[in-house]
Amino acid sequence: MSNYLQFSISLTDSLQSDILVARLTAMGFLGFEETDYYLHAYVEEQEFRSEEFESLLLEQNLQVSTKTISSTNWNAEWEKNFQPVILGKYCAIRAGFHQPILSVEHEIVITPKMSFGTGHHATTCLMIGAMSGLDFEGKRVLDFGTGTGVLSILAEKSGSSDVLAIDSDSNCVENARENISENHCRRIEVFKTDTLAETGSFDVILANLNRNTLLENMGEIRQHLTPEGVLLMSGLLAEDVQEVSEVASKKGLIVVTVELSDNWACIEMKKASEKESEL
């Protein structure tokens, strides 16, 4: 198991934090923790792109300190601060050492390690909120960029017939499998890949990624969506919505709804009909 680098970046406001999380996620950073004055960002040591990071520091005039965290100490770090997340009556996310939460429809137990998706970040909350309005019963689901596997687990608990969870990071794949087992899920398949090739067609595609990855894969995502399918995507800042919507339109997708929270966005899309494509 490799070590991780923790970068503590001085903040001036919450908007700056949102922008940094989006930019750093695109660079391969896997975890974030925000305090009143700092954004703590974590990246696997061997995956750290020093030139891109240094360029960002210069561009944003950022002050940063660094320390190395061994993988064996990571669980202790998050356990000190991890609190349950309760999202209305639909879903609650907790760690194994918390007491059960019985007041919700779906309870999920997550050990995040270095994977993204504990429910604390606005993008995960937005995705879960959007999922609460969908009918998953008997649907085939793709979780593109699964992280901890939390959205896949929720999809199965909501009635999906089968779920395919993919991620390009081997640590995320391992962590997702552990969490899926912990939640006694039986209809989720997980594997490591950064492409949708040969994955099949899906009634629902969940993509909580980042702007660049979503833009690069928009056409392929559409190809793997059934005619009546639903696409939910997040990992986007509010300022990204227009560009993403325009690219999606060119690829044959149309926006159904946009939800915003803390300057982050979640977009629900569907395939454009022949008539809609001609407009």
> In this model, does residue 77 exceed pLDDT 80?
no
Q: Which domains does the chain have, with CATH numbers?
A: 4-78 (3.30.70), 82-278 (3.40.50.150)
In angstroms, what is the C-alpha Rg of the chain? 18
List, for residues 91-107, the tens digit of each pLDDT value.
999 988 889 999 999 99
> In this model, does residue 114 exceed pLDDT 80?
no
Buried residues in 195-214 as b, exposed as e (16+ CB within 10 A) = ebeebeebbbbbbbbbbebb
Average pLDDT over residues 139-143: 98
Taking the model in full, what pTM does it have?
0.79
CA distance 114 to 147: 9
